[in-house]
Amino acid sequence: MISTAKDLGKLSIEQMTGNERLTFKGNETSAKLVDFWRWSVSDIISNATRGRLAEFIVAAALKIDLTKIRDEWSAYDLISPEGIKIEVKSASFLQSWAQNDFSKISFSIKAARFWDPSTGKYSIAPERNSDVYVFCLLRHKDKKTLNPLALEQWEFFVVSKIVINDYKRSNSSITLKSLQDITPSVDYSSLQQTIINSHKHPS
């Protein structure tokens, strides 16, 4: 029987090791999956890859099980062991390309319709589904020594959804200056407890 879209459920994805190889007609080629990873995401300064790295950094700080694969279609980026739903945003003063000046820092806070992979449908209305927002700023300003894996080069602003919902200047973005007015930044060592505290005392 030929399957139709109505028959198809969510695909079960297992974590890869990187040693898997491309094959052709059952025969292994010389190209490994880790070669693809190196080829495609070594530029961890780029906006898309830096965003995923920021999620990974926050997940590591929260001691989330990193053997569970990142869910690209979830209504929120992370869920902590305590059950806190978290949205992670990232920005950087420096970019991979040539710059005449540092990038201006702002973060998206736009409500969005989310995709439910279990039903294959989008939510009806845009909404903010996370309990806490973590705005991750790669603050380092020297391209010669920039290293996003060095966590001291980052700072983090943790804000509850309640505070974001009460933010009046824009429904779609928030500037660095506004974040600094709302809450002090923290470093990596304080990130986990700050997220927990923001969830317990959201206003």
Q: What is the pLDDT of residues 114-137, one digit of tens each?
A: 777 667 777 777 889 999 999 999
As a whole number of Å, the end-to-end CA separation of the chain is 55
d(CA 10, CA 101): 45
- Structural tokens at position 174: 């928030």
Output helix, strand, coil percentages for the chain, rounded to the nearest 5: 30, 25, 50
Q: Which tens digit of pLDDT belongs to each residue from 145-158?
A: 999 999 999 999 99
**What are the C-alpha distances in Å from 148 to residues 1, 60, 165?**
50, 14, 30
Give the pLDDT of residue 69.
92
In tens, the pLDDT along 86-122 reads: 999 999 999 999 999 999 999 999 988 877 766 777 7
- Identify whether the C-beta of residue 84 lies closer than 8 Å to the C-beta of residue 90: no
Question: What confidence tier does 18 reach under pLDDT thresholds 50, 70, 90?
Answer: very high
pLDDT in tens, 34-45: 999 999 999 999
In the chain, what percentage of residues exceed pLDDT 90? 81
Q: Tokens standing for 144? A: 């010669």
